[in-house]
Structure 1
Amino acid sequence: MLIVRQIDDLPAELRGGAVTIGNFDGVHRGHARLVERLRMRAQDVGGPAIVFTFDPHPVRLLRPEQCPPPLTWTERKAELLARLGVDGVVAYPTSRALLGLSARQFFDQIVVEKLAAKAMVEGPNFYFGRSREGNVSLLGEFTAAAGMTLDVVASAEEQGQMISSSRIRNLIGDQGDVAAAGAMLTAPYRLRGIVTHGAGRGATIGFPTANLEGIDTLLPAHGVYAGVGWRGDKSWPAAINIGPNPTFGESTAKLEAHLIGCNESLYGQPMELDFLDRLRDVRRFDTTVELTDQVSQDIASAQRIAAQLAPPPPFREGR
């Protein structure tokens, strides 16, 4: 599976296939439905199944104050799409020039000239071109005139409501319900960061933690979570705390993960964390003994949950 960031010299094996265009943030079950149809059309036309996405999200350029934190970074997005059977991902650098193209120009220059698409697959709420002037109706006119097929795939639903990246973002960031979000995603919610030195208080009470900073995706709501920590292809069950430490009078929120069974020094190293379930709220304990008893319970719960749900290792570009 190829990740391409420039399409001026697009490899021949990524041209002449079926294309779907969108942000694909989180790669949820609605996206999976699109990709399933995309693969069918790619087989029909004898070409590759290609996802064209934007890096960064167009809203970050147009209305940065309204741009929410993403659910996935580009390599993670490509990994999830590859697992669904996509042959290539074009992560096109978003620019003012790209966003200034009219719907007609975008279709002609990107879809026809650069991608040489023979089929397109989109959802019913797809918009393209300057100021979102193009919709699936207009796209249908363009594709028909160009001799392409266009499939419009109905949105996936969960409990009677449409699955969307914004709905998943609300579950994770506002409610901390990573299990419900995970049921709509195609894999557990994952973030990444760099392990830094913390106060070292966890080690003094018998539960050393890896403190993560530099997180570039959505941070779940404050709480204690069961998850899995990844360093390269190594993994450990993890009890993850997001928020302040009120027991010790700390008010600054942070992310710290106790990696069960990990004896390695991880300072300065990148790490990825999967979030499997929310265990409890962050709260103040009257004594250190009460705190350690609760943390022991959290660790046991996290280990049990992680044993039941074993996500695959992180994607490494070029692997």
Structure 2
Amino acid sequence: MPNAAAPAPKAFHAAYSLDAFPDALKGGVVGIGNFDGVHRGHQSVLERVQEEAGKLGVPGYVMTFEPHPRAVFTPQKLLFRLTPPHAKAEIVRAFGLDGLLVLPFDASFALREASDFVERILVKRLGIVHAVTGYDFHFGRARAGTPDYLRQSGEKHGFGVSIVDRVHDEGGETISSSRIREALTAGEITLANALLGYRWFAEGTVRDGDKRGRTIGYPTANIALDPDCTLAHGIYAVRTVIDGVLHDGVANFGRRPTFDNGAPLLEVHVFDFSGDLYGKTLKVSFVSFLRSEEKFDSVEALVAQMDRDSEEARAAIASLAPLSPLDLALYDIPLAG
């Protein structure tokens, strides 16, 4: 797991094409997969990458694909992305690996033969000495690149291969991105965070709003999440990073039925903060689900409920403890106040 006590952060390399792949990562150990969520199951792959890279004295990094292959194979179905590329990079870096390589994925890439992927990309371009994947990872045309195929390819081309088995939660169920999406859609933030091993977060740029919150004593930073986000509409205890400082708050994600019932929007009220946030990019982590969004008969009734929500959010945040070393590394920054 990541070493939060490291004296200084090491260089991290994020490349978004093969052409941009840095020489600093060549000859390393690569973990290959979609890694949407970089959840506890994925982290077992990252741990093996870290272990093998340490033994061999070479860089350890992650290779992933963008867009998610499911978006290419079934474009008619919206896919709730848990971690877009920039979020993956942030998590992989906090974990303690050396880099992230994101390969553009399209129909032509999907038709690439498994042997071509191994020989042209893994061997010739990346020069890997070891590959790590999960038990269910397949690659190449018609998913011919099975774990066994990768092992055989490693024997042929001279690189090691580790296949990591499925990881179960405390109840014996397999940890998966699908389970986490379902939990977030149901408002089960505690479950989602437990499966992730860190608190799920979203990032976005604060946009100009109608400034209604200021008039009722609850100014908010408004962020439009991705259209494919199916997070449950409701009120959440949250934490957000502003200019490198961690702040507590309460947020509403939904359509604001008391006012306009408009497009879904994340509205974050930052406790004890005054300042201009327009145009800033905020990272908002979700601590707990407080209640579902509802319509109130009056603004006064809404404000009274928001007062109660704020008290509950403060109490939830006050009792927080890191979920894991990774969770601590992601938020190892100064706390406001």
TM-score by length of 2: 0.86
Equivalences, count: 314
In structure 1, distance between residues paired with 2:56 and 2:228: 36
In structure 2, distance between residues paired with 1:253 and 1:87: 37
8 Å Cα contact 2:206-2:282 kept in structure 1: yes
The one of 165, 168, 174 aligned to 2:177: 165
The one-character-per-residue Cα deviations of 1:148-167 (angstroms, maximum 9, x if unpaired) are 22111111111211111111
Moved more, 232-241 or 157-166: 232-241
8 Å Cα contact 2:13-2:22 kept in structure 1: no
The one-character-per-residue Cα deviations of 1:280-316 (angstroms, maximum 9, x if unpaired) are 111223343332221111112222323343764599x
In structure 1, distance between residues paired with 2:260 and 2:100: 47
The one-character-per-residue Cα deviations of 1:133-173 (angstroms, maximum 9, x if unpaired) are 2111111111122222211111111121111111111111x
8 Å Cα contact 2:225-2:265 kept in structure 1: no
Aligned to 1:299: 310
Moved more, 241-250 or 221-230: 241-250
Aligned to 2:60: 49
Q: Residue type matched to 1:5 in 2?
A: Y
The one-character-per-residue Cα deviations of 1:217-260 (angstroms, maximum 9, x if unpaired) are 73511111010122331332121111233334635543211111
The one of 151, 156, 161 aligned to 1:145: 156
Aligned to 1:130: 141
8 Å Cα contact 2:33-2:134 kept in structure 1: no
8 Å Cα contact 1:45-1:119 kept in structure 2: no
Q: Residue type matched to 1:100 in 2?
A: L
TM-score by length of 1: 0.90
Aligned to 1:239: 250
Q: Residue type matched to 1:232 in 2?
A: D
Aligned to 2:35: 24
8 Å Cα contact 1:225-1:277 kept in structure 2: yes
SS in 1 for 2:76: helix
In structure 2, distance between residues paired with 1:165 and 1:8: 29
8 Å Cα contact 1:35-1:85 kept in structure 2: no
Where does the alignment leave 5 or more consecutive residues of structure 2 unmatched?
1-11, 323-327
8 Å Cα contact 1:238-1:303 kept in structure 2: yes
Aligned to 1:211: 222
8 Å Cα contact 2:80-2:228 kept in structure 1: yes
Aligned to 1:184: 195
Moved more, 247-256 or 28-37: 247-256
In structure 2, distance between residues paired with 1:7 and 1:284: 50
Percent identity between matched residues is: 33
8 Å Cα contact 2:201-2:284 kept in structure 1: yes
Return the offset for 1:198. Answer: 2.7
SS in 2 for 1:26: coil
In structure 2, distance between residues paired with 1:20 and 1:105: 18
**Cα-Cα RMSD:** 2.2
8 Å Cα contact 1:188-1:274 kept in structure 2: yes
